[in-house]
Structure 1
Amino acid sequence: MKLRQKIILLAITPLILALCAIALAVRHQATSLGQQQRASIQTAYLASKKAELTHYVTLATRSIAQLYESGRTDAATLDQAKAILAKLDYGDDGYFFVYDQQGKNIMHPRQPELVGQNLWNMKDADGSLTIQNLISRANEGGGFVRYQWVKPSSHNTAPKLGYVVALPNWGWVLGTGIYLDDVNDALAKIDAQISGNIESTMLWIAAIAILSAVAVALSGLVLNISEHRVTDAKLKVLAQRVVLSQEEERARLSRDLHDGISQWLVSIKLQIEAGIIKLAGTPEQSASARSTFERTAAQLNDVLGEVRRISHDLRPAILDDLGLAAALEHLAHEFMAHTATPTDFNAVGTADGLPDVVNTVLFRVAQEALTNIERHAGARQISMRLEGNSRCVTLTVCDDGVGFDVDHIDGHPKRGIGLRNMTERLEAVDGKLSLTSSSNGTTVLAAVLRH
């Protein structure tokens, strides 16, 4: 395999792997959110149906309350009550039914052939003793029962949610129910929509992956064509510079983002997801969602402020305009204003004539040192000193904080990111970082030789 083909392959492979990982994460998250949405909708829908059934039965009992409370149990009174209940239907499949305590059907406006039959031992398609369960629940004070029953409009057996109450003076069990096949159809549509959205997202990611791979491949070909006459030695130097540039950029992004914006964004994401779920819930949950979104908006303002701060820190104008000493003095004043910790700065000799990259490195070292002091040291006094002569320039940052175990932090793979960043920056300009720490405080010394 030729060198140019290896370069293209090395560029495309990480991209494809990253996009595959993103696709898997997106699919998992979308599936999880879809399941949560389905469960929330199902819960809310059933809650509304239960409230509706309770209302219907209450309306039915009130419609015959005058007859029931009269104390009469003669056939004429009972027939009058049955006639009233038979007229209280709602829709094609909404009706009331009446059974006695022995399971005999007394009234059924949609299936009159059942009237007079004893259905005590009747079982539904699931093997449940439907009528016995209805009578038992009514005698317990009333409640809901799930069972299978023939749907009048389609003449097909469908799941049903019934609500029954007892009328003990007449020995009746009065109830009604709502068929749940409509609920299942609605949930099936939601499942289909979620699956369609996931599939569409996967197709978009696949398209992006293909286009990105093609773009990388074409870019590599164009680069190879334009650099065809470059010697092997120059190619090696260029490859080294590309690798170094990538590592420097990754290190810079890690320093700027590992403690701030990513954590905020995760918190904002979780709050938005919680708010969306609440919106599908009860009115109280919907009201709570508003406060969640207001809190999220406030956090977004904080994120924007952090982005502006990072943008400013990327390249402070005062460093180019007035030099390193002025930039460090301004940094000390800003830090003192931000943390209320006394911060002194002194400049001895001259640091003029340093390359811009060295000025930037020393400024970044001072920034990182102050950041570490703010987060970990608990210092009451900080001092910075910039000293320059004809041979070297040194930057010293001292604090009287709690200190730390230098060897432990330096050897820990997940800690000391800021210290490693300072060391890497100085090594890139042939500088050196020295660090001493005890319970009396910490001293950071950065030295760069003049060339």
Structure 2
Amino acid sequence: MQKAPTTKASDMRGNLPFKLKILMIAILPIILASTLTSWVIHIGANRLIEIETSLIEQRILTFRQKELENYASLALTAIDHEYSHAQVPSQDAKQAVIRILNNLNYGNDGYFFAYDRSGTSLVNAPTPELIGANLWYIKDKDGKFIIQGLMKQAINGGGFFTYRWNKPSTKTETQKLSYATYLPKWGWMLGTGLYLDDIEQQVVAFRSDMLKEIRKAETVLFLVALLAVVVTAIAIAAVNYNEHKLADVRLKALTRRIVDVQEEERKRVSHDLHDGINQLLVSVRHRVELAREQLGDPVKAKQLLTKSMAILDTSIADVRRMSKALHPSALDNIGLAVAVRELAKDFEESTRITTRVKTDPIGDRIEETAKIAIYRVLQEALTNIARHSKASHVDISLTIDDTLNKVTLQIADNGIGLKNPDQVPHPDGLGLRNMAERMESHGGTMSIRNGNHGGVELIAHMPQI
């Protein structure tokens, strides 16, 4: 069984249409830049969220600590008339303070608690079953001695202590922050606290809001990048469409022009055949008939035949001229250098413009099609000189430069030159543009400029094989 041919990735890449390559070159930087920007924004936003969340949590905690201190201060104020005015520890005063503290509460889970120096619970409104119980050695899930930690902060002048405790509203053990102060005259620790799950909920809500905003920003950035990609693709497609349309228009115009030139050439050849060779051949036929009628008079017959021979020579010359114009057969027979000299000689004879030629033997340094291209460029250049330059002298050189590995054709005249040195051929014309395209089709180059001493200078370079 024969294996199915496989297509290599490199072949696929090499066969990508030029339009797709341009599209990828235009769009890929946008995609890469957008991706990199999104990644940087995502990393920076997450870091900012962590920092802001930490700051918000710290601010809320600081606010709640200040709030606990204020609540403790209010409680001390509420019991001050019982605690401060009692000269000695009075059971009645203590009971009054306990009642006051049990009745003090705030929010859903805000209450006050009190313990004596041994850790016995004195005040705890949400859990009255703990009253009278000694909780000195009670620990939370983290292994912290709760009452001992609170008592230590209270004796040291009042402070905060974090531990885990049952939340009255949910009946679940939750992280709690308490503030404890000390009543030295009675040896009591008085405190209040708040549960930190509320802070966690606020922080989570804040983080969620920030994440939503970040996601919105990332979505907007993605949409902007997508819009840029779409706009770029549409712009490239529009430019490509316009280029295609313009190229089609130019191609149609060029095709029409080529057809017109072909028709003009056929018409010219037809006129040359009809008005030139045909008339000459008719004249020869007429004279031959006369000569046949004058066979009895050898002198007249000879004159007629001699004139007919001269007309035939003219016809032969016209045929050669037409053949040479249609195809430079001299290239096939005598080589490019000699063909250039013959073309220059014919040009000088037909235009009376002095033509000086310098040629090097080209041999096989360039291809035959390249030789034809150089010959046609010279033909077109001489035609332009005859029509437009008003020159009286032309220099033609065909030289070889083995150092640069090229053959150079240089044509210079002493005519009126270019009105604008930077002028370009008319887009509908085939003269100069055809000359340049002939050279470029073989890897060569052509330039036209005003000469240093007037006139126009054409330089064409053709690479050697």
TM-score, normalised via structure 1 length: 0.49
Structure with more relative contact order (C-alpha pairs < 8 Å, separation 6 or more): 1
Calculate the TM-score normalised by the size of structure 2.
Answer: 0.48
